[in-house]
Amino acid sequence: MSQSPEPSLPLVVRIAHRIPYLPPAVHFVRVRYNAWRSAHERSAKNITRKNTLRAYNRVYRSDSLLAEYLVPPRLEFYDEVAERCARLTPRRVIDVGCGTGHLLRSLVDRAPVEPQLVVGVDRSRTGIRRARTLLPQGTFVVGDLYRLRLDAERFDLVLCTEVLEHVREPALAVDALCRLCAPGGRVAVTVPDGAQDSWEGHVNFWDEDEFRAFLALS
Ligand SMILES: C[S@@+](CC[C@H](N)C(=O)[O-])C[C@H]1O[C@@H](n2cnc3c(N)ncnc32)[C@H](O)[C@@H]1O
């Protein structure tokens, strides 16, 4: 009987090495498993990557996931948008896709005169629940931006930040935003720079010129 070349290895490993395709197959399974595991890791980024209502509900519901989502640069971004918009001294404001209401909170904190009406809409009920706590004087509505039932209302500031890159019908969304805007009012939208953005949770990617062209056509 021939002697095993590596007698110190466990028997199962020694047998495996004698089956020609087993090591590559094990490697393949391990690589696929690691990819699956990282895709299912419980991080806010991996969850929101799915870009579903369920994913956002989950992140907004959890204190720890929300803390991960509301990283300092995101809070600074809200403050920067709020700072610029506060200078417009809006009386009636709506934020479409308001998430947890942090942008509206920041705007109200900075506005020289408190707006008469502050409305936030999001399809995530857990986001809306958070927003109601964060800004009790606001009116927060669970709703789909394509089917807003606010037709009688007009706002002199319509906000929609970091939402259009997520939606399948962005032109219809812009249309809905414009319908909410009072004559002489402003619509403020932001999207990531599509020239640098390749995040899987997004479905639309515009660089600055493309976004201007898209808005001009909408
Ligand atoms: C990336 S988050 C941005 C949230 C917030 N505007 C911000 O700037 O952080 C996208 C938000 O859009 C909301 N959203 C996506 N599609 C929507 C739709 N059809 N109607 C209403 N809200 C929607 C999601 O629930 C989520 O809160």
Mean pLDDT of 51-72: 96
Q: Is the pLDDT of residue 40 over 70?
A: no
DSSP letter, residue 166: G
User: How far is the centre of ligand 1, averaged over its atoms, from the C-alpha of 50 (Å)?
Assistant: 13
- Residues 6 or more apart in contact with residue 200 via CB below 8 angstroms: 49
Verdict on whether the full-model pTM lies above 0.95:
no
Kindly state if the Cβ of 44 falls inside 6 Å of ligand 1: no
Strand order of the β-sheet with 181-190 is: 139-142, 117-122, 92-96, 155-161, 181-190
Cα–Cα distance between 151 and 170 in angstroms, integer?
A: 19
Q: pLDDT per residue over 4-15, tens digit each?
A: 455 677 777 777
Work out the average pLDDT over 58-68. 96
Domain limits, the chain: 1-40, 67-217
pLDDT, tens digit, 9 for 90 and up, residues 93-124: 999 999 999 999 999 999 999 999 999 999 99
pLDDT for position 1: 43
Gap from CA of 11 to ligand 1 centroid (Å): 55
Mean pLDDT (the chain, rounded): 91
Q: Which residue has the higher pLDDT, 104 or 217?
A: 104
Tokens representing 198 are 């390749």
The predicted pLDDT at position 186 comes to 97
Architecture of domain 67-217: 3-Layer(aba) Sandwich (3.40)
Reported as a pLDDT band with limits 50, 70 and 90, residue 191 is: very high
Q: What atom in ligand 1 is closest to the CA of residue 53?
A: 25
Amino acid at the residue 167:
V
Residue 56, ligand 1, Cβ within 6 A: yes
- What ligand 1 atom has the least distance to the C-alpha of 78? 8
Confidence bin at 38 (pLDDT 50/70/90): low
Q: Does residue 172 register a pLDDT over 70?
A: yes
pLDDT at 2 over 50: no
Distance 9 CA to ligand 1 centre (A): 55
